[in-house]
Structure 1
Amino acid sequence: MLYSALSLLFSVGAAVFASPVESPFEIPGGGVRQLRCGTNLSDIAIRTAEQEFAILQDQPGVSAEADQAIPINVYCNVISKDSTQSGGNIPDSQIMSQIKALNAAFSPSYVFKPAGTARVTNPDWFDNVGPGTTQQTSMKNSLRKGGPRDLNIYFVGFTGNGLLGYATFPFSYKSNPKDDGVVLQYSTVPGGTMEHFNEGKTGVHEVGHWLGLYHTFQGGCSDPGDYVGDTPAEVSPASGCPTGRKTCPKVSGPDPVQNYMDYSYDSCMNQFTTGQMARAVAETKTYRPS
């Protein structure tokens, strides 16, 4: 049964996991089309992944409880078009602030530890990296370090395509280890120049995917939604910080616009639920052995 589920997962979903689908997001008042996150899976890929996850959680030694903070080594890869900060060559201080933002958001379940920074000047990668591109493959094959529990973050420019970030999911690691990681718009780090998205919360959001979390609006108002029981369902992503918004009439309480896995402004995001952290820990123990 386990072999069948794994075979189905990798035959149906592997390509989707390696090449997330872009999700449109319009920044209000800016008149510029932006993409908050390029990490999405098809419904069939999600169902297949969840079937496998349910089977694997029944294996000995897997639980949703973190006995102590799970250490994650973070390898940062700064891809710039030139040597200037405006060209993507962000300073070490901003990199450390991004890691600090991760620790603040995921504590006490995880602790993120800087493991090294690589700096590469490559205008082609800086401008053209994206889900499924040859530039992404070349960049990751050249730079990725560590094993399944080591986080590689690639800071790029996404010039012209509007992406703020995207990530791979834990269950795709085995089929394509080199593809594993998070790709971020360099200007979203704390102190960056991306208006409304410069407190490092894009990094938190994408690392949430890397740890196994879906968007809060996954599946709209229909069960099972994001596969976490304590995140209220919402029909669509939030924009700005619409506190009190309620898009699913039958759901108790308002939309989770302050959740890191929504699309709100960075200033609005400040929480994961208990269920999300339990899911992330279980995904880590299942797919990212130490």
Structure 2
Amino acid sequence: MVRATSHTAACDTSGHARPVRGVLRRSGGPPVHDRADLSRSQVQAMLDDLRRTLRAEYGTDDERMLEARWRRARRIVVPVRFHVLTDGRHGRLSKAKAKRQIATLNAAYGGKWGGADTGLRFRLASYRVTVQPAWFLRPHVYERAIKKRLRKGGPGTLNLFTAAVGVDVLGFSTFPQWYRQDPRNDGVVVDYRSVTGGTYRHFDRGFTIVHEVGHWLGLFHTFENGCQTPGDGVADTPYESTPAEACPRHKDTCPQRGADPVRNFMNYGWDDCMREFTAGQGRRLRAAWAAYREPRRAKSARGKA
């Protein structure tokens, strides 16, 4: 699958350029999952911030050591506020479909299809339908207005919005490192046709939301930075110079050890072919959760360590 190579940016209210986190497609082709449009320096800065935050809270940034210290026998349960935007005729997803998407999240993050169990689970905390044609048709333009009106909860609450994101994009997400500076803009926005049981061929199993929630929880693309350090910053996802296209059986694009992780949820590719997170990605998710999305537990855990 060929991705657009040009970088697009939008300006926030402070006047600083920020990446447009969306899904791009080849002209005339089907939609694809997403491109978190970050530079190598941005990725490195975000990884450095995570390490600094973990060291400040726990005295170490070694994720394996932190796992042993936390003794996380119980799972992290993420409350989801499911916001359905509609113009009155289109996009009105039922509560049953929202529950089905939550089940998909739990299966993906629980390793049901062969990957690692990340230790994260999701529960539907609320479901709301909002009839607002302009918001529904142009969620990129009205992102701040939408979230200002509808978003609820703190850093550990996933606000998920469905709308007609468009034929060029399927979704966009914020990262946990951004919450402190811009909490009102936190959340995930996806095209309603890409949910579990949607109408987009090859993108109808709900894995766009799985992918975008991965960003919201702190993961980058597996092909981030190509074959260059730091890659995606996770040790057990091999370097990858180009994203997966459609449904490849095998792909190896970097000289470092390991074939490209073409089945990983944080790659590009059809929903038909995605199936896993790695153990390292699970540790990264839990570390980022403790650092950014559950600060009270992080401080409590530090005191008991």
Unpaired segments of 5 or more residues in structure 1? 1-13
Aligned-partner Cα distance in 2 for 1:209–1:40: 12
Equivalent of residue 240 in structure 1, options 222, 243, 246: 246
One-letter code of the match for 1:156?
Answer: A
Superposition deviation, residue 126 in structure 1: 1.1
Partner residue in 2 for 1:215: 221
Superposition deviation, residue 23 in structure 1: 5.5
Q: Does 2:115 match 1:110? A: no
Q: Does 2:92 match 1:92? A: no
Q: Report the RMSD for the aligned CA atoms in angstroms.
A: 2.0
* 1:211-290 → structure 2 map (5 Å cutoff): 211-248=217-254, 250-289=255-294
Equivalent of residue 187 in structure 2, options 176, 181, 201: 181
One-letter code of the match for 1:117?
Answer: Y
Could you give the per-residue CA deviations for residues 215-251 of structure 1, whole angstroms, max 9, x where no partner exists?
A: 0010101121000010011111111111111111x13
Unpaired segments of 5 or more residues in structure 2? 1-14, 111-116, 297-305
Whether contact under 8 Å (2:21, 2:173) holds in the other structure is no
One-letter code of the match for 1:54?
Answer: R
Whether contact under 8 Å (1:20, 1:168) holds in the other structure is no
Aligned-partner Cα distance in 2 for 1:19–1:222: 21
Superposition deviation, residue 129 in structure 1: 1.2
Partner residue in 1 for 2:157: 150
The alignment partner of 2:272 has SS state of coil
* 1:129-208 → structure 2 map (5 Å cutoff): 129-130=139-140, 133=141, 135-159=142-166, 162-208=168-214
Aligned residues: 265
One-letter code of the match for 2:289?
Answer: T
Q: Does 2:59 match 1:57? A: no
Superposition deviation, residue 35 in structure 1: 4.9
Superposition deviation, residue 186 in structure 1: 0.4
Superposition deviation, residue 34 in structure 1: 3.2
Aligned-partner Cα distance in 1 for 2:82–2:155: 15
Superposition deviation, residue 151 in structure 1: 0.2
One-letter code of the match for 2:24?
Answer: P
